[in-house]
Amino acid sequence: MTGDGDPSATPTRRRFLAGAATALAATTAGCGYVPGGGDLAWEESLRTGGLAFGSDRRHCATADRLITVENQSGRTYDFEDEEWRDVENAAVSVLEPDGTVRSVGETERQAVGPPAVGGEVAFLPVERGSVTAVDLSRDESGDGTPVGEGATDESDDSVRWRVDIASVSGDEEGETSEPVLRGVRASHALAVAIGPRGIAAVDAETGERAFAIPDLWTDGSGRGPADLTPRVAVDGETVWALVPEAAATTGTGDAAIVGYDRAGGRRADRAVAADHEWIAVVDGTVVVGAPGVSMSGYGRDLDRRFGLDVRAPNARPAAVQADQGAIYYSRGRAVTAVDVARGEVAFERSNLPQGNLAVDEHGAYVTGIERARDAGTEPRMVAVGTDGSVRWEAPFPDGVDPRDLYAFGGRLVALADDAAYGFRAAPGERWSPFG
């Protein structure tokens, strides 16, 4: 695949300004300047391919990097075979905290959902009911850790394995024009494909089948809920599913939480109200939410640990599992943090910009248009600490209106158009005449 060249070879205006600001800060360090939260550290292009046309992008952030999967369609020149070839697949890349973008590899088909990450592997649901495992330690330049004997395609060593899981998609042949997988969840041990009727789990390292439940979401006579990915969580070798009323076997007529071991056996189950729509696992606690109504937590044997009458979010919230075991979510201009270990609301902070939310072990970050009378209407970012206090706030550079927001590796990364902007996440002191 041809490339666009080194994005740093011709610096953009913002890249130049960011570099100039850093250099100026260095020369005036004796005057009391310490890079502060919200300072621009770098700008980088997200495009890693050279095809005629690009399609949609999907992202997944870990504690130390951002994985991007970009569907691409067009023509590229194969220099080895000296011929043009048509390409319709997905390119996988990794964005590091220092702004470095590594092109990892390509899938054989286009992705139909966001990736899930377990260890050094990204698991992608792709067209026609398949899951592809891509080694994130690889680099298309030839650097990186070699893949073992599990690679299935000599032309792309980054692919560890590909598995056809159409049997749980509701389309046995896997030959429909519609995406037949709803998504994928994963841990370091298992990758779970989610179809409109059931799930299938495979070994994360080898792709060997662990178990499949073809009719998890329905009673076999109909379809289940439309949005199924938030109803599955993977914790090590346990798969947790929030099963709707039609498939519940608890005898109560409500929904149920079900935990499956590596062989597909039920290790635990518990009835819950039918209005619950998402499930997550935080530091060993299984958390389920009824949007706008409540949030509850259970142990691994599904003994009840807490129940909170809070306005739970509609979507599965962002979770931080480093030390504090917290769940963060936003509703309107408020951010709420739930301490899972204590089973209580840690804080609720209001009067924040309404927009994107990102979290890390230091707290939450929100961006949006602040419409307060004294703040104008420029896009702003605000960092909220684990105690609910505002750590720092800053405007975005001119012309940057973020579409997505992620926090990893000490950086707050905003995505806008084809570029990623990395801002310093740690607070600091800005200009001061006293050093």
Listed ranges 17-31, 214-228, 344-358; the one with the highest mean pLDDT:
344-358
Question: pTM of the entire structure?
Answer: 0.82
Average pLDDT over every residue of 413-426: 93
Is residue 143 pLDDT above 50, yes or no? no
Whole-number pLDDT of residue 367: 92
> Are the C-beta atoms of 51 and 75 separated by less than 8 Å?
yes
C-alpha 94/C-alpha 103 separation (Å) is: 7
Between 427 and 11, the more confident residue is: 427
Question: For 410, which DSSP code?
Answer: T
pLDDT attached to residue 177: 46
Confidence of residue 59 (pLDDT cuts 50, 70, 90): very high
Residues near 33 by Cβ (< 8 Å), separated by ≥ 6?
A: 25, 429, 430, 431, 432
pLDDT at position 433, please?
Answer: 42
Per-residue model confidence (pLDDT) at position 323: 65
Sign of CA dihedral 402, 410, 121, 239: negative
pLDDT score at 139: 73
Ramachandran class of 388: left when φ > 0, alpha when ψ lies in -120 to 50, beta otherwise: left
Q: Residue 42 has which token pair?
A: 């770098």
**What is the tally of helices (H) and strands (E) in the chain?**
1, 32
- Over residues 33-37, the mean pLDDT reads 73
Looking at residue 430, what DSSP letter applies?
-
Pairing state of beta strands 404-408 and 83-95?
unpaired
53 pLDDT more than 60: no
Amino acid 154 reads E
pLDDT at 251: 53
327-337 average pLDDT score: 94
pLDDT value, residue 11: 44
Statement: residue 395 has pLDDT above 60: yes
Per the prediction, the chain carries an average pLDDT of: 81
Name the region of 141 (left: φ>0; alpha: ψ -120 to 50; beta: rest): alpha
Confidence of residue 204 (pLDDT cuts 50, 70, 90): very high
Give CA separation, 298 vs 181, 288, 320, in Å: 28, 9, 17
Is residue 15 scored above 80 in pLDDT? no
Q: Is the pLDDT of residue 366 over 60?
A: yes
Give me the count of residues in the chain.
435
> According to the model, what pLDDT value does residue 427 have?
86
Task: Specify which residues 87 forms β-bridges with.
Answer: 74
pLDDT digits (tens, 9 = 90+) for 301-331: 999 999 999 999 999 998 886 667 899 999 9
Strand partners for 98? none
Using the predicted structure, report yes or no on whether residue 290 has a pLDDT greater than 80. yes
Token readout for 384 is 């909220």
pLDDT, tens only, 146-176:
333 333 443 468 999 999 986 565 554 444 4
**Mean pLDDT (whole number) for 245-268:** 81
Measured CA to CA, the distance from residue 394 to residue 123 in angstroms comes to 36
Q: Mean pLDDT across the stretch 327-340?
A: 94
Q: What's residue 214's pLDDT?
A: 87
Q: E strands within 278-402?
A: 278-282, 285-290, 294-298, 304-308, 318-320, 326-331, 334-339, 344-349, 354-360, 363-369, 379-385, 390-395
C-alpha to C-alpha distance for 155 and 392, rounded to whole angstroms: 48
Range of lowest pLDDT (91-95, 241-245, 393-397): 241-245
**Segment 82-134, tens digit of pLDDT:** 777 777 899 999 999 999 999 999 998 999 999 999 999 999 999 989 999 99
Label residue 372 by pLDDT band (50, 70, 90): very low
Decide if pLDDT at 17 tops 50. Answer: no
**Burial environment of residue 148 by CB neighbours within 10 A (0 to 12, 13 to 18, 19 or more):** exposed
- Residue 21's pLDDT is 47
The burial of 62, by beta-carbon neighbours within 10 Å (0-12 exposed, 13-18 middle, 19 or more buried), is given as middle
Kind and range of the H or E run holding 339 = strand 334-339
**Which residue in 358, 333, 329 sits closest to 346, CA to CA?**
329
Of the two residues 184 and 254, the one the predictor is more confident about is 184
- CA dist 423 and 432 (Å) reads 20
User: In this model, does residue 341 exceed pLDDT 50?
Assistant: yes
* Separation of CA 41 from chain center: 22
Q: Could you give the percent of the chain with pLDDT greater than 70?
A: 74
> Does residue 138 contact residue 173 with C-beta atoms inside 8 Å?
no
Mean pLDDT of 247-265: 80
> Is 8 a residue whose pLDDT tops 90?
no
Q: Considering only 98-112, 215-229, 345-359, 406-420, which range has the smallest mean pLDDT?
A: 215-229
